[in-house]
Amino acid sequence: MYRSKRSSSKKQSLMSSGVLFISDLHLSPEQPETGRLFIDFLETRAAEVDALFILGDLFELWLGDDAILPAYQPYIAALRSLTDRGVALHVMHGNRDFLLGDKFQTLTGAELLDDYTVIDLGGVPTLLMHGDLLCTDDVAYQQFRCMVRDPRWQQALFGKPMEERLELAQRLRQESQSAAGMKSIEIMDVNQEEVEKTLREHKALQLIHGHTHRPARHHFELDGKAAMRFVLPEWRKQEGGGLHYGQPGLSKEFYSLSRSGQ
Residues that bind ligand LP5 (CB under 6 A): 61, 63, 95-96, 99, 132, 135, 138, 140-141, 144, 157, 165, 168-169, 171-173, 175-176, 179-180, 183, 188
Give yes or no for residue 212 binding Mn ion (CB under 5 A). Answer: no
Give yes or no for residue 211 binding Mn ion (CB under 5 A). Answer: yes
Question: Can you name the residues that pair with 243 across neighbouring β-strands?
Answer: 21, 252
Q: Smallest gap, in angstroms, from Cβ of residue 30 to ligand LP5?
A: 14
Nearby residues of 193 by Cβ (< 8 Å), 6 or more positions away: none
Contact call for residues 242 and 255 (beta carbons, < 8 A)? yes
Among residues 96 and 209, whose Cβ is nearest to ligand LP5?
A: 96
Q: Smallest gap, in angstroms, from Cβ of residue 135 to ligand LP5?
A: 5
Contact call for residues 27 and 34 (beta carbons, < 8 A)? yes
**For Mn ion, which stretch binds (CB under 5 A), given 51-59, 188-196, 224-232, 249-257?**
51-59
Q: Smallest gap, in angstroms, from Cβ of residue 84 to Mn ion?
A: 28
Q: Smallest gap, in angstroms, from Cβ of residue 186 to Mn ion?
A: 17
Identify the residue among 95, 108, 117, 198 touching Mn ion (CB under 5 A).
95
Among residues 50 and 115, whose Cβ is nearest to Mn ion?
A: 115
CA distances from 219 to 22, 216, 225 (A): 20, 10, 11
Nearby residues of 68 by Cβ (< 8 Å), 6 or more positions away: 76
Contact call for residues 38 and 240 (beta carbons, < 8 A)? yes
Among residues 14 and 185, whose Cβ is nearest to ligand LP5?
A: 185
Q: What is the CA radius of gyration of the chain?
A: 18
Identify the residue among 25, 27, 54, 57 touching Mn ion (CB under 5 A).
57
Number of residues this chain uses to bind Mn ion (CB under 5 A):
4
Look at residue 144 and give the partner it binds from Mn ion, ligand LP5, none, a contact being a CB closer than 5 to 8 Å depending on partner kind: ligand LP5
Q: Smallest gap, in angstroms, from Cβ of residue 12 to Mn ion?
A: 27
Q: Smallest gap, in angstroms, from Cβ of residue 57 to ligand LP5?
A: 8
Going through the chain in order, the beta strands assigned E by DSSP cover 2-4, 19-22, 51-55, 88-92, 111-113, 117-121, 124-128, 206-209, 216-222, 225-231, 239-245, 250-256
Look at residue 94 and give the partner it binds from Mn ion, ligand LP5, none, a contact being a CB closer than 5 to 8 Å depending on partner kind: Mn ion
Contact call for residues 253 and 241 (beta carbons, < 8 A)? yes
Q: What gap in Å lies between CA 214 and CA 243, rounded to an integer?
A: 14
